[in-house]
Amino acid sequence: MWKAIGAILLPHVGGGLNGALIKPETDTWYQALKKPSWRPPSKAFAIVWSSLYTGMGYASYVVWRDGGGINGPARLPLTLYATQMMLNWSWSPIFFCFHSLKWSMVDIVFLWCNVAACAYEFWKINQTAGILMAPYLCWLTLALSLNYCIWRDNKEIQEPKKQ
């Protein structure tokens, strides 16, 4: 049970740290960007990400449990999972802190591909784990589209913020 709880909490920790890191930028820089009319309301993001992090965390636990851990058949799926978490957590600073719409787009394309591969590999170990990754992939499709539209519609601010 504790391993499952740890696996569920891990994505939330990175997400929470990112949330604290990007908060000043969401209140200022992000508000000034041109965004498509179909963008979800800001309050939806925290709710959706909490649900997604819980599902993907539990899915990773199930794959670890049923796939013999990192030294068993779960090695590839868990490596993909770790990689997608790094891509996931890196997107927010790239987009919000460095103001790099282009590189955040590159990151999210790699993230989408990685999550698709991860979901497929999870499915091969445990079908429920694969299914738990599906909402994440759907949300990333929306996020990728949103990132693209913001990149396209804000050409005048394409220079990343200097640190």
CA distance 78 to 60: 7
Q: CB neighbours (10 Å) of residue 67?
A: 22
Domain assignment present for 108: yes
Question: CA nearest 96: which of 50, 45, 33?
Answer: 33
User: Does the pLDDT value for residue 156 go beyond 80?
Assistant: no
Q: What does the pLDDT average to over 92-105? A: 93
Q: Which domain holds residue 67?
A: 50-153
- Number of domains into which the chain is organized: 1
Is 64 domain-assigned? yes
- Rounded to the nearest integer, the mean pLDDT of the chain is 91
Residue 75: give its domain's CATH number: 1.20.1260.100
- 140 belongs to a structural domain: yes
Least confident of 22-26, 39-43, 152-156: 22-26
pTM exceeding the 0.85 threshold for the entire prediction? yes
pLDDT, one tens digit per residue, over 50-81 is 999 999 999 999 999 999 988 899 999 999 99
In a domain? residue 160: no
